[in-house]
A and B are shown apart, each in its own frame.
Chain A
């Protein structure tokens, strides 16, 4: 996980490169909540382009960070979720709560 701070815009940009499961998400949660509470971003952008695997732990992980961002008066957006990951999010109704930005890159089939 790589975190960039944009001081002027108060944006916290998070690139997740790990596989997201119950094990990894509990480690990432601790670090990300620390970053959010310290930086108090207006916007948290979580980029999932580098995520090769995600199970249902990803749903709880993202809802949790959405709540933390909101508690510090920020919003949360998700970028570049693969088709496979999107399918899991859609099953849970997450896109009704959290904003998903269209993939910047076209999927190469």
Chain B
């Protein structure tokens, strides 16, 4: 593991207006690593997906707390999006492309697929009734 360069924690209410706030805040933090526009866009999209999942699924539209914990290393960023919502019963199923339990809300079921494609590592830990932690890592290749 490279040297830790910086670290930050964010905590906010699970309101949909915070989707933009969360992705912009993390992108602003990530910009300290001088990523390319492409890398920054990948991070923004992935954070937006994870936070939206917490808002829609974990808290089902009710108020709850979403935490983001991010660490910067020499050429990588780690991002954790943590909620204490209802959890995911079957993570494998949830990660399947086009799988959604909210088709009535016009959800596409592509959230985890996008995170997997845009980041270099994705781990989803979830306990039914307790919450979910999404861990993502992205290498900042422009720094190699």
Contact = CB atoms under 8 A, between A and B. Distances in A.
B117 to A, nearest CB: 7
Contacts of A91: 97, 110, 113-114, 117
Contact of B52 (A53, A55, A61, A63): A55
A32 interface: no
Given A29-B106, A55-B45, A91-B110, A22 B56 contact: yes
B55 interface: yes
A53 B24 CA distance: 11
Contacts of B117: 91
A98 to B, nearest CB: 13
B17 A23 contact: yes
Contacts, number: 66
Contact of A21 (B41, B52, B110): B52
A17 interface: no
B107 interface: yes
Given A21-B19, A22-B56, A23-B20, A60 B48 contact: no
A40 B85 CA distance: 41
B19 A56 contact: no
A92 B113 CA distance: 9
A84 B39 CA distance: 11
A77 to B, nearest CB: 19
B63 to A, nearest CB: 15
B49 interface: yes
B119 interface: no
B36 interface: no
B87 interface: no
A50 interface: no
A48 B39 CA distance: 21
Given A91-B113, A92-B98, A21 B106 contact: no
Question: Which 7 pairs show the lowest CB-CB distances between chains A and B?
Answer: A60-B106, A23-B16, A59-B108, A56-B110, A55-B48, A64-B106, A60-B108
Given A23-B17, A23-B20, A88-B45, 13 more contacts: A19-B20, A21-B48, A26-B16, A53-B23, A53-B45, A53-B48, A54-B45, A56-B110, A60-B105, A60-B106, A91-B97, A91-B114, A92-B97
